[in-house]
Chains A and B, each alone.
Chain A
């Protein structure tokens, strides 16, 4: 038995020593860089939400809500309140759902009473370059949501994109992506609104 253990150690001591050493290295680096990584994520959220709620000075975590995204699945989303000089000026949260190719993650900003949408920003998406990614790069689609009422959005292929209402004109060549965004927004806004009302925030 002792012989076996000796043989085992002889063969693998380098692997074991290296594992421990590399493990310590990684743990150290992670401890050093992790605050920075988290700060980056918060900064990205704040930049996107701050661009929509321009009057907000900072965003504070308010509530973690569980949202049903269909097919028996749920996600947790953090709702943050936008604060300006001690007053709440709006709410921002991350909404996600399936897009054309991959998951789409949006930052959604609404006003204090959940009456009007202040717009959305794309946190991460992997849509077709040149078509679907216009939800991220172009203003045409996004601008239709700025100031739109927080109710069920509908998608149409022809219509007036300048008129701000709950009717949204799809991006040409990217109907599916446009549909996905509308679906994600409808789903999240209605559920967040209902849950926030229940919790007495509005």
Chain B
């Protein structure tokens, strides 16, 4: 029972309370870049969720089973980024070969994901929080991915409506998006402290 509670709490915590985008500033680049249209945003969110789950689990395994046993913590960053880059390439090739339709819809985002800080960030946070079992690492990864999707979709919805608004010219584009994001983080701050 304890395990289930921990997993559930961790999931909600990383998805809403400690949302990567709003409280840790991770994944801001795609968040600003692709959040123009809601379908694109959703595609990007799905791609990120997929890769983040894969790389979260893989990096945890490598870190816990190999690096910490051999005392090679110094190589952690190099290993993590190579795993992520490799995972992204593998996923891209696999999806292109077996699911061409899916590749057409979100394949273009895949190369971008390598430099998405949310993914490396999550791998580092999993390590920092001292997660010591695989299910928890996987659940946290999925939660982080869904949290990112949630954030980017909310933003895309707002931006679609914002296109109709009369924004001062010098604030058009990125500036107003950042300010909107700021107000959104205020809203998400309401969840803070809900789960400990």
Contact = CB atoms under 8 A, between A and B. Distances in A.
Q: Do A and B bind each other?
A: yes
A153 interface: no
Contacts of B78: 22-23, 26
Dominant SS at the A interface? Answer: mixed
Interface stretch (A54-62, A96-104, A110-118, A144-152): A96-104
Contact of A101 (B5, B23, B75): B23
Interface string B32-62: 0000000000000000000000000000000
A101 B192 contact: yes
B129 interface: yes
A71 B4 CA distance: 10
Contact of B6 (A23, A30, A71, A103): A71
Given A26-B78, A100-B193, A72 B23 contact: no
A30 B70 CA distance: 14
Given A71-B5, A72-B3, A27 B193 contact: no
Contact of A100 (B3, B75, B132, B192): B192
B6 A72 contact: yes
Contacts of B5: 71
Contacts of B193: 100-101, 176
Interface of B: 2-3, 5-6, 18, 23, 74-75, 78, 129-130, 132, 192-193, 196
Interface of A: 22-23, 26-27, 30, 71-73, 75, 98-101, 103, 128, 176, 180
